[in-house]
Amino acid sequence: MLGLLALRAPNRKCSELMKAFRGFTLDRPRLRCIVADGDSKETKLLLLEEGVTLEGLPTELRALAETEGLTAVPYNLELGYSMLSADAVLKRLLPAGVDAPSSFETIGHIAHLNLRDEQLPYRHVIGAVLLDKNPHLRTVVNKLGSIENEYRVFDMEVIAGEPRLETEVTQHGSKFRLDFSKVYWNSRLESEHLRLVSSLPAAGVLVDMMAGIGPFAVPAAQRGLTVGGRGGDNDGVRNERRRAGQPTAG
């Protein structure tokens, strides 16, 4: 249940008032800020965002409410599961002192989490909610321990969904097909990859001594450079060779 303040307004004024109060009205996915006013055929309710009070509105909006004869009334909004975000659901499910994960990395259909110790007992609940609230995901994994090998590949546990770690990622026009359990990939470096590749000349020779699966080497080749990639990560090298001369095919 969400306790809100609502403004009772004539039907004919609702659209105009919604624009005037923009920034202070309820703004949640799948929720309307104008709702029925009980059985009234003459008025509707304009829902204000959680925490907004009449006294907290700017002077000009308070004056508008008075000029238009708007009545402020309390409104209890009942939220079903489908209307709640993953964060809101987890805040209700997890015990006090255990926060919901603030973010996760997406690699194709895989969500990658780094859960803290206090979150681990609830990892399957966390994974199930993330899977349910993000239809594009099929698998949720949690990193186990620290990275202890030169290829930066880490042990992981599938905590929800299909145990399928082969996926496809599109970055800057190239499709990378990879097994996330065998190849290092960090989607958060996409902007850095683009910045670095954009700084390269349009012709020349580039040797990437730590090419991995090729997030630098492949787009550099697309840019027109002659590229040589080297790395001890055999799975990454095999994937990179598969893409040679095929900027959008795995």
DSSP string, the chain: -EEEEEEEEEGGGHHHHHHHTTTTB---TT--SEEE-TT-SSEEEEEBPTT--TTTS-HHHHHHHHHTTPEEEEEEEPPPGGGS-HHHHHHHHSPTT-PPPS--EEETTEEEE---GGGGGGHHHHHHHHHHH-TT--EEEEEES---STT---EEEEEEE----EEEEEETTEEEEEETTTS---GGGHHHHHHHHHTS-SSSEEEETT-TT-TTHHHHHHHT-EEEE--S-HHHHHHHHHHTT-TT--
- What span, in angstroms and rounded, lies between the C-alpha atoms of 5 and 14? 16
Number of compact structural domains in the chain: 3
Q: Phi/psi of residue 158, each to 5°?
A: -75, 115
- For residues 182 and 158, membership in a common domain is answered with no
Q: Spell out the per-residue pLDDT of the chain, length 250, in tens.
A: 789 999 999 999 999 999 999 999 999 877 899 999 999 999 999 999 999 999 999 999 999 999 999 999 999 998 888 888 899 899 999 999 999 998 999 999 999 999 999 999 999 999 999 999 999 999 999 998 665 555 556 788 999 999 999 999 887 778 888 888 888 887 777 778 778 888 888 788 888 777 777 777 887 887 888 887 766 554 444 444 444 444 433 3
Identify whether 170 is part of a domain. Answer: no
* 21, 55, 82 - which closes a domain: 82
* 42, 61, 82 - which closes a domain: 82
> Considering the entire predicted model, what is its pTM?
0.65
- For residues 110 and 146, membership in a common domain is answered with yes
- What span, in angstroms and rounded, lies between the C-alpha atoms of 57 and 24? 8
Q: What is the pLDDT of residue 231?
A: 60
Tokens (6 digits) for 140: 């949720």
- For residues 137 and 205, membership in a common domain is answered with no
- For residues 77 and 101, membership in a common domain is answered with no
- What span, in angstroms and rounded, lies between the C-alpha atoms of 186 and 204? 27
- For residues 97 and 147, membership in a common domain is answered with yes
Residues 159/142, Cβ–Cβ less than 8 Å: yes
Q: What is the pLDDT of residue 241?
A: 42
* 56, 82, 108 - which closes a domain: 82
Q: Phi/psi of residue 101, each to 5°?
A: -55, 135
Taking alpha carbons only, the member of 20, 80, 67, 68 closest to residue 48 is: 20
Q: The CATH number of the domain where 32 resides is what?
A: 3.30.70.120
